[in-house]
Amino acid sequence: MAKEPKITVAVNVMDPAKFKGDLLAISLLEDTKQLTAEYRELDRSLNSALTQLLKLGDFKAKPNETTILYPTGKSGCPRILVVGLGKRKDLKLNILRQAAGTAFRQAAKLGAARCGLALHLPAAPEKLDPEQIAQVITEGAIFGSYNYKDHISTTSDTPKTSAASSLTLLEPDPRRAAKMKKGAAAGQIIADAQNRARMIANRPGCEINPPLLAKEAQKIARQADLQCTIFDEKKLAKMKMNAILAVGSGSASKPRLTVLKYNGRKGLKMIDVVVIGKAITFDSGGLSLKPSEHMESMKFDKSGGCNTIAILTAAARLKLPLNIVGLIPSAENLPSHTSYRPGDIITTYSGKTIEVQNTDAEGRIILSDALAYAAEMKPKAIIDMATLTGACMVALGHHNAGLFGNNDALKLQLQAAAQFSGEPVWPMPSGPDYLEQMKSKVADLKNVGGRPGGSCTAAAFLGEFVGDVPWAHIDIAATADADQEKPYRTHGATAYGVRLVLEYLRGL
């Protein structure tokens, strides 16, 4: 198994012209007319290459556009990578995050190990605070450096794609640098956790199954200040968690419920937030088998669970003053002679019964046990993340996750956090009308409600298991993995939602 590359991050009070390393990343705005004092100094060391770049207009500085300069002067760096930031008026934290991602993705391709980054923000907009800037560029750089190549044989003509080993943020003003140190430290914890989630989510079904995922969570928990308890199939049976057991019944790899606990409020038992993540290590659809086209992407059906591991780990590393529980219900959904069947009726942990009409609508079934178990803890909020419905992809495409829930204040808090984290969520309806579609003739609920409003009916179903605890559900079916590369990130698992939930927790 490939080892996680670790990038060390530092903030140095230094002029960019003085940086000595393998690559210096700098930025330009589309409407840059005049260089700042530090960039003028850098320009001098580059024999006016920047002035020339601006004059020729070859480089438009559109967001994520890049060009490389190879200095011949006495600059300390063999490569200067220039990244565009777009127009100053449109500059947002997420543009900075992406620009850093773009720069560090390029750095990895070039095999540049020691990288410096100096932003050019003439008259930086006041709203952008140095601590936040440092956080988001650190997040972007580490996120952009990640590459999934565990199974690619190394040959002499394999492109170089090893992540940078160090990132130095260059800031000549000592007061700004002090604030940036704080932001960079948080950004590093958050991005490392997110990449860890991506690393696990990218693993194929032949490498990871519910018991192995639970073990991975346990290993990570030991390294952080987290308690970890694994409910195996015997314990699940004793607990009457029949929903998780039913979904996992077709596979030789037995289901698990992993419980992670972070106690940041020493001496206080009360739980602030329970975070839940769907972790189907492979979703074939079960006896209601999926079509074979794109079935391979169902290895990502554990993304919510991987996010949950990352969120709990980062919460502990950030030492958040909160008590947080993470629940990872996990099963492999396969067809076999032991599988659960359409027509089966499951008595869930809550006592409510579910008629199975389609074994491919399994996420909501495993979540029913986890949500009811979470509600018993009487937390202030429950947040679940799940690759739940293809219907959410139809509704929102790949650019927003669906946000559902029973509490407007909680939803607003999550929307604000998503704005900051650059992982947008769109509020979606749910409630009694949608729930009607989930009523069964032979049980309390059925697990499918027809095509209309498929993600909304799924959310209405989940809402039946949380009682009156404030709850939000984030449907990440269309955002958890990406076929296409972007300048700022590779293909595969995105761990969408890790930064978002962490920002929400940091704001409590």
Tokens of 481: 């993995």
Question: Whole-angstrom Cα distance, residue 271 to residue 280?
Answer: 26
Contact 26, 39 (CB under 8 A): yes
**Binding flags for ligand BES, 425-444, as an x/- string (CB under 6 A):** --------------------
Question: Whole-angstrom Cα distance, residue 500 to residue 404?
Answer: 15
Give kind and range of the element (H or E) at residue 482.
strand 481-482
Question: Per DSSP, which regions of 217-343 are E strands?
Answer: 227-231, 256-263, 273-277, 279-283, 323-333
Rank residues 224 and 295 by Cβ distance to ligand BES and give the closer one: 295
Task: Spell out the residues 6+ positions from residue 360 whose beta carbon is closer than 8 angstroms to its own.
Answer: 283, 285, 286, 288, 289, 290, 333
**DSSP for residue 79:** -
- What's the gap between Cα 444 and its chain centre? 34
CB atoms < 10 A from the CB of 246, how many?
27
Q: Confirm or reject binding of residue 391 to ligand BES (CB under 6 A).
A: yes
* 364 is annotated as an active-site residue: yes
**Binding flags for ligand BES, 297-326, as an x/- string (CB under 6 A):** ----x-------------------------
Which option in ligand BES, Zn ion, none does residue 389 bind, with CB closer than 5 to 8 A by kind?
A: ligand BES
Q: Confirm or reject binding of residue 448 to ligand BES (CB under 6 A).
A: yes
**Minimum distance from residue 283 beta carbon to Zn ion (Å):** 4
Residues between 280 and 299 with contacts to Zn ion, criterion CB under 5 A: 280, 283
Rank residues 402 and 405 by Cβ distance to ligand BES and give the closer one: 402
In Å, how far are 74, 396, 404 from 457, measured between CA atoms?
Answer: 64, 16, 11
Rank residues 22 and 362 by Cβ distance to ligand BES and give the closer one: 362
Q: Which residue is nearest to ligand BES (CB)?
A: 390
- Chain position carrying tokens 């992406």: 98
**Minimum distance from residue 191 beta carbon to ligand BES (Å):** 24
Query: Which candidate in 114, 302, 317, 364 is catalytic?
Result: 364
**DSSP for residue 292:** S
- Chain position carrying tokens 């009607």: 436
Q: Confirm or reject binding of residue 361 to ligand BES (CB under 6 A).
A: yes
**Minimum distance from residue 248 beta carbon to ligand BES (Å):** 14
* 265 is annotated as an active-site residue: no
Mark the segment that binds ligand BES (CB under 6 A) among 129-137, 206-214, 390-398, 432-440: 390-398
Q: At what angle do helices 130-145 and 174-201 cross, to 10 degrees?
A: 30
Q: Confirm or reject binding of residue 363 to Zn ion (CB under 5 A).
A: yes
In Å, how far are 272, 319, 370, 429 from 329, measured between CA atoms?
Answer: 20, 25, 6, 25
**Minimum distance from residue 406 beta carbon to Zn ion (Å):** 23
User: Which residue among 65, 233, 272, 283 contacts ligand BES (CB under 6 A)?
Assistant: 283
Q: Confirm or reject binding of residue 389 to ligand BES (CB under 6 A).
A: yes
Contact 394, 425 (CB under 8 A): no
Q: Confirm or reject binding of residue 301 to Zn ion (CB under 5 A).
A: yes
Question: Whole-angstrom Cα distance, residue 505 to residue 338?
Answer: 41
User: Which residue among 21, 363, 405, 463 contacts ligand BES (CB under 6 A)?
Assistant: 363
- Chain position carrying tokens 């018991």: 211
Rank residues 199 and 365 by Cβ distance to ligand BES and give the closer one: 365
Mark the segment that binds ligand BES (CB under 6 A) among 33-41, 100-108, 144-152, 358-366: 358-366
**Minimum distance from residue 291 beta carbon to ligand BES (Å):** 10
SS3 at position 320: coil
Tokens of 236: 């699940």
Query: Which candidate in 44, 88, 149, 290 is catalytic?
Result: 290
**DSSP for residue 486:** B
Question: Whole-angstrom Cα distance, residue 211 to residue 448?
Answer: 28
**Minimum distance from residue 494 beta carbon to ligand BES (Å):** 12
Task: Spell out the residues 6+ positions from residue 167 whose beta carbon is closer than 8 angstroms to its own.
Answer: 7, 8, 9, 10, 104, 115, 116, 117, 138, 141, 142
User: Which residue among 332, 360, 369, 475 contacts Zn ion (CB under 5 A)?
Assistant: 360
Residues between 245 and 284 with contacts to Zn ion, criterion CB under 5 A: 280, 283
CB atoms < 10 A from the CB of 268, how many?
12
Which option in ligand BES, Zn ion, none does residue 477 bind, with CB closer than 5 to 8 A by kind?
A: ligand BES
Q: Confirm or reject binding of residue 360 to ligand BES (CB under 6 A).
A: yes
**Minimum distance from residue 280 beta carbon to Zn ion (Å):** 5
Which residues sit at the interface with ligand BES, rule CB under 6 A?
283, 301, 358, 360-363, 387-391, 393, 448, 454, 477
Catalytic sites, residue numbers: 290, 364
Which residues sit at the interface with Zn ion, rule CB under 5 A?
280, 283, 301, 360, 362-363
